[in-house]
Amino acid sequence: MNDRNLRHRIKLCLWIVIIGLALSGITAFPLESELALLKGHLSANGTMGIWINNIYHAVKTTNSQFPWLSYGTDWLAFAHLMIAVLFIGPLKDPVRNIWVIHFGMIACVAIFPLAFIAGSIRGIPFFWRLIDCSFGVIGIIPLYFANRYTRVLERSA
């Protein structure tokens, strides 16, 4: 595989990560309206429907009584967007900025202890913790390939 092809593959992998982070960030801002939409499409009887209804009620109540608490999810959204910006470095020079790819892979793995420890403490249902962990599983795949292609590119230089 030539350098041009490797760089193209690395960029594709990184764009998947950047877009995923950006979408995760952008969708963290309008939580109440998103939950209302989701609630309207789920049966209130199933496990997922009951959970979404509970979350919607909590967010709606909190927003009406304590709107400043949602500022925390605004910062969560901001963090996702800033982490997405971080991956611009490897887009430009993957070999020099491979540490960013490694950072992303570490973050994907670190989702698991956070989801299972904090999720348990906060009373998050097990099935929802698995959904949270899926972001780490999905995220590490393009990062793994970006890392692999970058190592090959580095050896060919």
Q: What is the pLDDT of residue 122?
A: 97
Task: Count the domains in the chain.
Answer: 1
Q: What is the pLDDT of residue 44?
A: 74
Nearest to 42 by CA among 34, 52, 32, 33: 52
Residue 19 is assigned to a structural domain of this protein? yes
Residue 94 is assigned to a structural domain of this protein? yes
Q: What is the pLDDT of residue 62?
A: 96
In the structure encoding, which two tokens stand for residue 8, read together?
């193209």
Residue 141 is assigned to a structural domain of this protein? yes
For helices 47-65 and 31-41, what crossing angle results, to 10°? Answer: 150
**Sign (positive/negative) of CA torsion 39, 44, 48, 54?**
positive
Low-confidence residues in the chain, pLDDT < 50? none
Residue 65 is assigned to a structural domain of this protein? no
Residue 56 is assigned to a structural domain of this protein? no
Helices marked H in the chain:
3-26, 31-41, 47-65, 71-86, 88-92, 98-113, 119-121, 126-156
Residue 38 is assigned to a structural domain of this protein? no
Residue 126 is assigned to a structural domain of this protein? yes
Q: What range does the domain containing 107 cover?
A: 3-24+71-156
Nearest to 83 by CA among 1, 143, 155: 143
Residue 149 is assigned to a structural domain of this protein? yes
HEC-encoded secondary structure of 31-45: HHHHHHHHHHHCCCC
**pTM to 2 decimal places:** 0.91
pLDDT in tens, 125-149: 999 999 999 999 999 999 999 999 9
